Structure 1
Amino acid sequence: MDSLAENSKKSFHIRSNSLPSKPHPVVDEVYENLCRLKASEATSSSSSLCKKLNGLQDLHDSIDKLLRLPLTHRALVDSKSVDDLLEGSLKILDVCALAKEALSQMKESADELGSALRRRRDDTVIDVQKYLNSRKMIKKAMHKVLKGMERSSSQKSDESFEIVSLLKEAEAVTYNSIEFLLSFIAGPKLPSKISRWSLVSKLMQPKRVTNKEDGAYGNEVEMVDASLYSITSHKSDVFVQVEDVQNSLRKLESCIHDLEEDLESLYRHLIKNRVSFLNILNH
């Protein structure tokens, strides 16, 4: 990790005349946080997502310090990419807000389903289908957002000021990390009943159930989906599966709680940095 950060800093000095020969400690701190995030696990498991969100909070805390430096002020005022940075920060806030809303909806649906399962009513399947209908709407919305994010992230720009390039790199890392979160919320696309049951079969394998770090199958969202699809597909008795579903729901609710807390904290960091950024430009 240290060698990665050192190589990045060396490359930074070779390319740039916009910084002093010896970088400010805050610049080093930003680079180190960026390197840690880039080296982190590229999966959409809940544990890796929480680590990413915590890492993003550290990154944007260091960016807050960077925005207070006079050299940053000079670079931003003279940069041709100020409008791009403003637009980028707004896009990130927008996708964060979408993720927050999706998590809130998931939590509400999980709470309602959990209450219905505890009552053990005869029409439990109706409540299960209600949850799955909500999931279908969330999945559709998230996949639509993800498709738009793919187009946006493919856009490149040239920037001569290295401080601004550093801010753009932080923006890209943040954007990509939130993309992982939206993928976690959405889960895989299920275009047909055949593929749906195929997913259920894979998820219900014992090895998959116990593998919490599996980024492709077996995370908390997909395990609940699979259990409920099993019920609505009449592949299992609803009352036999209730306890398993309740256990999966508890894990999902705990996961959502952790993600909501981390995302809310990141959101506050992003708003604070955008305000600082705007204050610089208005002076």
Structure 2
Amino acid sequence: MAASYHARSNNLPSRQHPIVSQIDENLNRLRASQSASTSSSIGHNLSGLKDLHKCVDVLLQFPLTQQALAQEKQREMVEELLDGSLMLLDVCTTAKDALLQTKECTQELQSILRKRCGAEGLANEFRKYLTSRKAMKKAICKALQNLKHIQNKLSTPGENGAVISVLRDVEAVTISVLESVLSFISRPEAESKSSRWSLVSKLMHQKKEMCEEEQKANEILNAEAAVRSCIKSKNMKHVENVQKELQSSELSIQDLEEGLETLSRRMIKTRVTVLNIISC
């Protein structure tokens, strides 16, 4: 980490400055938790990402930082980062819309289940829920492709000043966290089929176990799986389990919605600050 501080010291506050240290600590913490796959861990990362952007806002207030961003030779990189931040805000909006749509369908289905409709009526409502989830996943897929596009641009090598390097690091971590959010919302059910006659390595077996554990921890996926199971079995006795999973899913969605909303507001503030600096 000392090398990182040294590389940044030319046009950032002193390497001993608390805000520089805090940014690096937040970046490292988020990088270390990139494999987050539960709603609580992802929510924690969204909160950590919000704090990181808050630190960046403080950094952007330093005259030395502003002078570095205002340099003509940095203009192209700054504008590229601004384009990326706009796309990231669009991705945030897509994620929030997907969560809202899923929450509304979840609440509507819960309301119908409480009315104790007949088996045929419930089956139709279950299918409507699954159809809505399918449409939502298409939008998520497109958003994930956009994240990949931004990520590819960030991986392009070039001579960057210290401030630009920090902003690129922050954008890269933001992409990672948002990717985990989108994957959590839309992750398809893990394939359960396996060829009995084939040899499966220990590594693949461990990977499958990890995937199954992630599924158990995904409240949104559990609700969807419960609905599918109820349709497949045609046994309305499973309705109580569906209700239970839908309630858990709704709570999970609420936490993620709040995390994305606060992050979006912080990202907008950072973007506006950078725009003001380069327009002066």
Residues 216 and 232 (structure 1), Cα distance of their counterparts in 2 relative to 1, 3 Å cut: closer
Q: Which amino acid aligns with 2:220?
A: V
The answer to whether the 8 Å contact 1:45/1:214 transfers is no
Quote the residue 1:56 is aligned against.
49
Shift of 1:45: 1.4
263, 269, 278: which one aligns with 2:275? 278
Shift of 1:28: 1.4
Which segment drifts farther, 17-26 or 260-269?
Answer: 17-26
Residues 189 and 244 (structure 1), Cα distance of their counterparts in 2 relative to 1, 3 Å cut: closer
Shift of 1:256: 0.7
Quote the residue 1:227 is aligned against.
226
Quote the residue 1:65 is aligned against.
58
* 1:267 matches 2:260: no
Distance in structure 1 (CA, Å) of the matches to 2:213 and 2:142: 24
Q: Which amino acid aligns with 1:276?
A: T
Q: Which runs of 5+ in 1 are unaligned?
A: 1-6, 200-210
Q: Which runs of 5+ in 2 are unaligned?
A: 195-209
Distance in structure 2 (CA, Å) of the matches to 1:230 and 1:22: 56
Distance in structure 1 (CA, Å) of the matches to 2:134 and 2:172: 29
Distance in structure 1 (CA, Å) of the matches to 2:262 and 2:50: 7
Shift of 1:189: 6.6
Q: How many residues align?
A: 258
The answer to whether the 8 Å contact 1:12/1:162 transfers is no
Distance in structure 2 (CA, Å) of the matches to 1:11 and 1:96: 30
Shift of 1:138: 0.6
The answer to whether the 8 Å contact 2:13/2:20 transfers is no
* 1:26 matches 2:19: yes
Shift of 1:25: 2.1
Shift of 1:218: 4.3
1:151-170 map, 5 Å:
151-155=149-153, 156-157=155-156, 158-170=158-170
Q: Which amino acid aligns with 2:150?
A: S
Shift of 1:64: 0.9
70, 88, 91: which one aligns with 2:87? 91
Alignment root-mean-square deviation, CA: 2.3
Residues 232 and 83 (structure 1), Cα distance of their counterparts in 2 relative to 1, 3 Å cut: same
Quote the residue 1:202 is aligned against.
none
The secondary structure found in structure 2 opposite 1:214 is helix
The answer to whether the 8 Å contact 2:12/2:65 transfers is no
Residues 33 and 102 (structure 1), Cα distance of their counterparts in 2 relative to 1, 3 Å cut: same
Per-residue CA deviations over 1:45-100 (Å, capped at 9, x if unaligned) read 11111011010111011011011111110111121411111111111111001111
Q: Which amino acid aligns with 1:150?
A: K
Distance in structure 2 (CA, Å) of the matches to 1:171 and 1:105: 27
Residues 21 and 152 (structure 1), Cα distance of their counterparts in 2 relative to 1, 3 Å cut: closer
The secondary structure found in structure 1 opposite 2:214 is coil
The secondary structure found in structure 2 opposite 1:134 is helix
Q: Which amino acid aligns with 1:237?
A: N
TM-score (norm 1): 0.84
Quote the residue 2:198 is aligned against.
none
* 1:174 matches 2:174: yes
Shift of 1:39: 1.3
Distance in structure 2 (CA, Å) of the matches to 1:114 and 1:43: 29
Per-residue CA deviations over 1:126-149 (Å, capped at 9, x if unaligned) read 111110000010112212221332
Distance in structure 1 (CA, Å) of the matches to 2:110 and 2:46: 27
Distance in structure 2 (CA, Å) of the matches to 1:243 and 1:124: 13
Q: Which amino acid aligns with 2:97?
A: E
Distance in structure 1 (CA, Å) of the matches to 2:137 and 2:15: 48
108, 116, 126: which one aligns with 2:104? 108
Shift of 1:107: 0.6
Distance in structure 2 (CA, Å) of the matches to 1:249 and 1:26: 42
Distance in structure 1 (CA, Å) of the matches to 2:131 and 2:231: 12
Distance in structure 1 (CA, Å) of the matches to 2:250 and 2:139: 21
TM-score (norm 2): 0.85
